[in-house]
Structure 1
């Protein structure tokens, strides 16, 4: 459980009654100092440590904690949470493992929000104002329960982040009854669209909305009039991200949304019109009247091609955030656009941006802080020969963009020198993620042991680190470097690294702060994984897919301990349709291990595909 607080005032002029430090007492003056200081203690680890000093400090922490993030919903029960922090105002709860985003686990794996919303609905958190659920299963009944509760009436923030299981019927209740909502967020959620009345209800009943987001969802029955009504009624509206709706239909919305700072979604989908002479009209003509609000500094337009780029030009110099993930631009189009965005701080794009695009970014956008480059469609890359990101682009980026804090990139080629360059220049980097694509047969410089070591030594602010390579990309020595030079990293994803059990054992001798470890394509045995868990003293969560399973799992007994749950998904084979050959083929899903600390005991809502590891089964063998 990761907990943080918002600032709360406590009367520091009154003395505090003493209580025990464990079984000892704590003096009043020290309590008073703590009461004065606690509003400014934001790191959850600092607060947790202080709360263990004495019973009084524990109690002060309990009544002043305003926000809690629970990194895994099965690590604690709603009842335990409500007893520990009854005055919570904000809760963030994560459900399914990240593997769910890549379809690596079944939809019905678990992560149900119902127990949590039921606890909220009965009044266990009387001050609750903000709920954020990520990768969880939410039903229409859950949303109805929330909307009809006392909390629902005063709720200000509802985020259904990559969630599933609900429909517009549930949203209808939210729009009708949750009239104090300032944020409604559903980006990348899988929901069923039954009608479009939910949006009209929201527009008719809410006048305080500030953020509306249903980007990358199947909510396509959007009435431009409802979006415009929201903008007219909600004068504080600053961010709107929607699904497909042609930009030309949103002229009235942009005119009404005078405070808007961020817009995402929309589309350029009008068919070309033929003139009487049989010539197609200018594709930009329908969008010539589109004018973005004056405060706009964040933009992401879907299906935007080269012909529609001029719609961005009037605001390009003011943009701080630009999302090109779902644009239809080539490498040179990216270059042309980025030259006009000197104040850019956050860019999302596909790797069609290429090394050339990164070089332009490095030249014209030196203040960039966050850069995310996802994998593009292979056919798009093949059409644009420059549409690949390699060491060339990363070197230019690191040498010129010294404020970079977050870098997530899919590369087609990489070298040790590029990683060394990042370590030498990117001193503010706190989150680094690199995936080496498998499209190219030959990689210039493997293994990457020395480059990874230099990057980790140089980027001493790193808290999150992902390295997804291919066999031979990192030796056991390189894996030991990761353990040795990752003193502050709390989350790590490793794919196809190491050569043998020795690598993971050496790795586990380091990483003193690592709380969450995810691995794929491992060559490690169950015994080595279990021993590594014992070595990683701060570890709270482990997910592994693809390892050397021994069959019955007995080698996992080494990691068995109190409050440590172990779940297994055995390897399985199934038929898939081969579209190219028109036949059925056999696909194999590799085995999974999920292990985590929990105060809730074993869960009872797992599907047949999941097997709870039972140590007692091996006692007599």
Structure 2
């Protein structure tokens, strides 16, 4: 998953299961009318509504809604953007009934570990119930953002029929729909400004969806379809781009060659964001002419600030992008198999770069070149070419040390490697004190400091001690209870914590649950934590969004006890599904007394205002 965060990325989410934000709005003329003939209570509500239109903080709006019934009503009427971090935290009917003036809906479904195939297929997170509720209750809806949801072609058709004024649709890590559904949508939503398909599983219905856009001039501003892994009608795309004068963001799939890219770029020199597609070509007639043409194309796109794509890249083509490098603030090479020398020839021109993603093929030397030039870097992600535990990884603590020394403004890092040292992690905590997100993934299990043989406790302890703004932490390597005691003691601001293959036993997790008072999202896999560790967080679970534990030491008895003690939480026990049993037709019974000491495979607990969901498949037991 390289086009999106590999974990939930909303560190500023409010503590309630349903939170929203509003853009600054000018109070409508209907609410600024004379109050002379209105009763005092009505006057007060009108005034509050006018004030709340300018309140954008999710935390502040949640606080306002708790003051009294009058403020609750006023706040509900002025919520235009609704964010729901778990589609099962509230029923669609309840949410839509309360917030009937929605303009924008953000809805998230499956747990993050679905990205790593740890959530069985057909687990849930269907968009259909939400769409049914919105069809009658949200006539002014303009924006829909879905993440890890299941959305069907029929759903897309209902959106097209029921919300002809839809302006933005963003689907991230979604599944269940095909190119036919996309065609129905784009043919009817004539006011569509944004259509972004990011890391979705799109089925091929042998349908020319690009051709379905209206023949007239469009208001399209952003179009992204990198994940649609099927050939497209290039002639239709070329014509669409030509009649989209407002287009600023365009991300193409790997079936678009550099020859076709050149044609597109000549049409839209106003682009600010470009996903290049394959960045390879099988139709080169003259290499010299090709280089001149594409170099001039990039030179003419003077507004480009974000560049991505580069799938099936031909490294010899990289010099073509040199004319735009000086203005780039974001560069994504996470699909480009390039070496240190090739990377160095590009980043030496990127003095304004703030966001950079790449593969570990760039080696430590490539990261050193990046650090030498890009002192303003704020976000770095280094993904593995080979994610196997026993693979050889060409980046190490050497590259990380260079980044920490050359990029002091760094705020977010995701770094995959096979070996690390405490000394370098401690150095990063001191050199980059503004870190908000620190995710170090040492791919081998239980690997210590490769120079001293000591656990990685001191390194991760330094991160939580010295990085005072840290809200998100992912640990790896050999960790003992000491690491978790330091996280619990100093990680007061940590909201998202990911643990894998770590810990000595229950005591470590209890340190975290008792110490991290702001913890919202806890995800654990393959760690030795059991019932005692789970019980240590009973005082805090109502304040958290979710807890996920897979391949740990939880028993069914422990899970049932937590469910009884926390009746307002939904507790799911999920069994692994065989490839031939994806529908869960062979049900595993978890209610028998003799099974209560059995270690559960997956445990998922989350807040819900409306009790248990009614669409759980057979392989999910809700306790």
Instruction: Report the TM-score when normalising by structure 1.
Output: 0.86
Match of 2:571 among 566, 574, 582: 566
Q: Which has the higher contact order (CA 8 A, sep 6+)?
A: 2
Say if 1:246 and 1:267, in contact at 8 Å, map to a contact too. yes
SS of the residue 1:492 aligns to: strand
Map 1:431-510 → 2, pairs under 5 A: 431-438=437-444, 443-445=450-452, 446-467=454-475, 469-470=476-477, 473-510=478-515
Tell me the equivalent position of 2:201. Answer: 190
Name the structure 1 match of 2:14. Answer: none
Gaps of 5+ in 2: 1-17, 582-598
Q: Which residue of 2 aligns with 1:240?
A: 250
Alignment check: 8 A CA contact 2:19 2:83 kept:
yes
Identify the residue that residue 370 of structure 1 maps to in structure 2. Answer: 379
Write out per-residue CA displacement over residues 550-604 of structure 1, whole angstroms, 9 at most, x where no aligned residue.
355556437632321100013678899xxxxxxxxxxxx9811000110122112
Are residues 568 and 3 of structure 1, via their aligned partners in 2, closer, same or farther at CA, if it must alter by over 3 Å? same
Match of 2:176 among 165, 177, 182: 165
Q: Give me the whole-angstrom Cα distance separating, in 1, the residues matched to 2:446 and 2:531.
A: 32
- The answer to whether the aligner puts 1:98 opposite 2:112 as a matched pair is yes
Structure 1 equivalent of residue 416 of structure 2: 410
Equivalent residue for 1:297, pick from 293, 300, 305: 305
Spell out the pairing of 1:257-406 with structure 2 (5 A cutoff). Answer: 257-271=268-282, 286-290=290-294, 291-292=297-298, 293-300=301-308, 301-377=310-386, 388-406=394-412
Distance 1:437 1:17 in 2: 66
User: Which residue does 1:129 correspond to in 2?
Assistant: 142
Name the residue aligned to 2:94.
Answer: 80
CA contact under 8 A between 1:572 and 1:591: conserved in structure 2?
A: no
Measured after TM superposition, the shift of residue 113 of structure 1 is 0.5
**Could you tell me which of 152, 157, 160 is aligned with 1:139?**
152
Q: Distance in 1 between matches of 2:479 and 2:545?
A: 25
Indicate conservation of the 8 Å contact 1:412/1:439, yes or no. Answer: no
Alignment of 1:585-600 (within 5 A): 591-600=601-610
> Is residue 548–residue 605 contact of structure 2 (8 Å, CA) maintained in 1?
yes
Q: Is the 8 A contact 1:176 1:202 kept in 2?
A: yes
Q: CA RMSD in A?
A: 2.8
- Does structure 2 retain, via aligned residues, the 8 Å contact 1:530–1:558? no
In the TM superposition, what whole-angstrom CA distance separates every residue of 1:300-344 from its partner, at most 9, and x where no partner exists? Answer: 222223211122122222221111111121122222221121111
SS of structure 1 residue aligned to 2:571? strand
CA distance in 2, matches of 1:557, 1:346: 42
Give me the whole-angstrom Cα distance separating, in 2, the residues matched to 1:205 and 1:185.
21
- Give the aligned partner of residue 26 of structure 2: 9
Counterpart CA distance in 1 for 2:445 and 2:216 is 51
Q: Counterpart of 1:255 in 2: which secondary structure?
A: helix
Contact kept in structure 1, 2:553 and 2:600, CA below 8 Å: no
Q: How many residues align?
A: 575
**How big is the shift at 1:91?**
0.7
What residue number does 2:15 align with?
A: none
Aligned to 2:3: none
Deviation at 1:412, TM superposition (A): 2.0
Q: Unaligned 5+ residue runs, structure 1? A: 20-26, 274-280, 577-588, 614-621
Residue 137 of structure 1 deviates from its aligned partner by 0.8
**1:584 aligned residue:** none
